[in-house]
Amino acid sequence: MKLENTEQEVTSVASDLPENYNELKNAANRTANWRERLDAVKQLGQWKSQQSVDILTRRLHTDPVFQVQEAAYEQLKAWGEDVEKPVRSKYDVVKGIQKILLRVKKSLPREHSYEAFKEKLKKMRIDVYDTYEGDKGADFDTWLEETWKKL
């Protein structure tokens, strides 16, 4: 009995699913919007259920954006789940990123600007743009421009 009270105090979250569960589930799996995935992880974190645990565990292990992984980890840990803290990858977040960026650059006129390159990347590969924007945070523009110059 005492253990149950302690668990209730620690979790302090609802144990049912939210009314917008299907929307949150879809948002958590949306590949082209890391902000929506992060928001969905945070909202699902208020509703402890096996479905929420499953979604957060998937985000922890498969999300390309470290912030989303970290948010999922923090919530799962708060719920008492046996999870390992995510480690920021030292490798490219998207496999073959140099080839993808080179393809975008080659699709533009020879003397294009960095801004034109950035916009073309956003149009051609929003998933890649969004993933790196989330992963790099405030350093995204600097990273992208430096990478563009080296291509």
Each residue of 64-108: pLDDT tens digit? 999 999 999 999 999 999 999 999 888 889 999 999 999 999 999
Is the per-residue pLDDT at 2 higher than 80? no
Confidence (pLDDT) at 3: 40
72 and 105, same domain (yes or no):
no
Give the whole-angstrom CA distance, residue 47 versus residue 24.
11
Confidence (pLDDT) at 14: 57
- Is the separation of the CB atoms in 108 and 117 below 8 Å? yes
- CATH code where residue 51 lies: 1.25.10
What is the model's pTM?
0.77
Integer angstrom CA distances of residue 146 from 10, 86, 119, 139: 46, 27, 16, 11
Confidence (pLDDT) at 10: 41
Please state the rounded mean pLDDT for residues 123-147. 95
Q: Report if residue 109 sits inside a domain.
A: yes
60 and 106, same domain (yes or no):
no
Please state the rounded mean pLDDT for residues 5-24. 66
Q: How many CB atoms lie within 10 A of CB 146?
A: 11
* 53 residue type, one letter: V
Please state the rounded mean pLDDT for residues 118-147. 96
> Per the structure block, which two tokens stand in for 123?
């149009």
66 and 101, same domain (yes or no):
no
Q: Report if residue 88 sits inside a domain.
A: no
107 and 72, same domain (yes or no):
no
Each residue of 26-70: pLDDT tens digit? 999 988 899 999 999 999 999 999 999 999 999 999 999 999 999
Give the whole-angstrom CA distance, residue 24 versus residue 119.
29
What total number of domains does the chain contain? Answer: 2
Q: Of 34, 51, 78, which closes a domain?
A: 78
Confidence (pLDDT) at 91: 84
What is the domain extent for residue 103? 97-150
